[in-house]
A and B are shown apart, each in its own frame.
Chain A
Amino acid sequence: METVFLSRLKPLFDVIAGQRELYIPHHEEGHFSFARYNPQLHQEIAFNELRLCQPVKQFLFPLREIAAVFPDPVESPVVKPFAVYGLKDCDLRSIQVLDKVFAEEEFCDPSYLKRREQMLIISSDCYNPAESCFCTMMDGDVFPQQGYDLNISKIKDGYIIQAGSDKGLMLLKENESLFADVPHAAILERDDNRAQARRQSEEILTDYQFDVPVNQIVNNGCESELFDNEAKGCVECQACTRICPTCHCFYLYDEKQDDYYQKMKIWDSCVRLDYATVAGGENPRKLLTNRTLHRLMHKFVFFLDRYGIQMCVGCGRCIDACAGESNIRDVLKKLYDEPKTENNQKLKNGKKSIPTD
């Protein structure tokens, strides 16, 4: 696809912001979060060298939304076109995961589809992977190869913009006058930057070298005592599932308005005690150790089994967010290092068979 050169991002972003809401990374207290771009405000257009602290799911699957209105159904609100800049390969793969669930099944989610259709995805290379990153362990990379409309690679004197879809290509064609040809040296510089970022990522992951696929490590370790220890350190704050870009559990509840009712959809978390409790009071995952295990089994084993792609994208946000200082990579490492007994090869079940009372 088309690749062009641009010395400053502002002219391009001003054009985009004229057509749709544009969200860009905003540097604040040591991390990047999303901020609405306003051409009039002379905002700094930061190049986030690593992922933002927020997951991209909030744009497609908001924290809370109206799922249905009844008894008289109403059309769900119109979604205006919008663009999000600063997404990394891990973010793009998280969108792929959500697409599998909400956009590619027998039952699609209409509001998700609307938002997805209206979204322009502007990704960028990741030049400075965080200490918590492990994308390369989870089929990812430090720069995106697919799933974007435009990808931006920063070099010393400007930016290389690459189109990854017809939507992106169209945008480049419509604004040809803004761009120059990409100097060959710029491509070499970009490739150097990418190779450097990959080396950095490899260095971060020196202690996590496995010769077995991650799903097998978790599946084989599902009877491990390790999950009891993990549970002891967990304060059940649910931050891991909220900040995870691919966790997509939700809770449906009903609300009465003046003259109608609405069914609401709100993020939920499988770490929550009563998450799986039925009306009669039975709860298949009463123990936190079982909820911890279920989360990992879903993340690393069940999803892959059902949809054929990794659910965990290795962004490491759960590591940064955990109040109990749990590190999912250490869990994988410990499970990998555990001696393989006959017992932990036998059960592939997502729950430890320990007494529940």
Chain B
Amino acid sequence: MVKNPYQPINAHIVDVIDESSTIKSFVVKPDEPIPFKTGQFVELTLPGEGEAPFTPSSSPNQSDQMEITIMKAGRVTSLLHDCKKGQPVGIRGPYGNGYPVDTFTGKEVYIVGGGVGLAPIRSLLLTLIDRIKDFKRVVCRFGARTPEDFIYKDTLFGQWQKIGGLEIKLTVDKSNGQWDGNVGVVTTILKSDDVDIQNAVAVVCGPPIMMKFASMDLVEKGFKSEDIYLSMEKNMSCGIGKCGHCMLGKYYVCKDGPVFTLNQIKEYPDIWD
């Protein structure tokens, strides 16, 4: 019998973590494991209310439960923010292509992230950290509006700072007085970085405006557009390249993406809208 692609796997929320004033992480345990590749996304259903697409922020090595980081942005995400431990939910997926991590082997991985865009990046980072020696080095340049707006603060300011081969630099748009790091949008900390461009790939995820300017700066830095990986956010609904809502030019973001190289999509002027 053909598997019904619209049937969610039953799951429930086992933990809720406050990340910032508008962002929460939900630890979700499905009734059956949902193996996924880092960068792929799932459709999370709040029963009776609707579903929305999210890229899990946890490591793909842990398939019995996954973490989904959600910014309060629309109707479904607002209702999800009201959910407590034990709330039944549904998960469809995983969908899309994910990051081509194996092709990063031996290279510098230069990651630029902002806001809730750190969610897919966290999953990628956990994947990279598991085999950190496979990469020349992993460089992270993350931005947030204020220091309070950084998500995953515990690991970001703690454990991840101590991992050899992983270099993290943070910046905020606006300091709160106690911030001793860089102030300015994330693109302001890219220019001074020395990157072995011929042997590097870049990964960008964040708000559309940040992705736009970061991509432009990376190109200016010398990155080839086929070496810049973007995690695109469009209105992914069915997840299987049929319903049409997420079309970006000829691509179905849900199926052909959500990870695209800048080279694949740079001709489309609407990519940042």
- Residue pair B270, A284 in contact (C-beta under 8 Å): yes
Residue of A nearest to B7 (CB): A68
Interface residues of A in 307-357 (CB under 8 A from B): 347-353, 356
| B245 CB-CB contact with A under 8 Å | yes
Residue of A nearest to B50 (CB): A254
Residues of B within 8 A of A285 (CB): 270, 273
Residue of A nearest to B43 (CB): A252
Residues of A within 8 A of B90 (CB): 70-71
Residues of A within 8 A of B177 (CB): none
1/0 per position for B69-109, CB-CB distance to A under 8 A?
00101111100000000001010000000000000000000
Given contacts A276-B247, A353-B269, contact A256 B48 (CB under 8 A): yes
| A67 CB-CB contact with B under 8 Å | yes
In the bound complex, how far is the Cα of B250 from the Cα of A348, in angstroms?
A: 10
In the bound complex, how far is the Cα of B244 from the Cα of A275, in angstroms?
A: 9
- Residue pair A249, B5 in contact (C-beta under 8 Å): no
Given contacts A70-B8, A347-B267, A350-B268, contact A254 B243 (CB under 8 A): no
- CB B12 to nearest CB in A, in angstroms, measures 10
Residues of B within 8 A of A249 (CB): 243-245
Given contacts A68-B8, A70-B47, A109-B242, contact A351 B234 (CB under 8 A): no
Interface residues of B in 234-259 (CB under 8 A from A): 234-235, 237-238, 240-250
In the bound complex, how far is the Cα of B7 from the Cα of A349, in angstroms?
A: 34
1/0 per position for A295-317, CB-CB distance to B under 8 A?
00110011001100000000000
Residue of B nearest to A101 (CB): B242
| A108 CB-CB contact with B under 8 Å | yes
In the bound complex, how far is the Cα of B5 from the Cα of A70, in angstroms?
A: 13
Which residue numbers of B lie inside 8 Å of A, CB to CB?
1-8, 10, 45-52, 71, 73-77, 88, 90, 207-208, 233-235, 237-238, 240-250, 267-271, 273
Assuming A263-B8, A278-B234, A280-B74, what are 17 further A-B pairs, CB within 8 angstroms? Answer: A70-B90, A71-B47, A101-B242, A105-B240, A249-B244, A249-B245, A250-B244, A261-B48, A263-B45, A276-B235, A279-B73, A280-B207, A285-B273, A349-B268, A349-B269, A350-B268, A351-B249
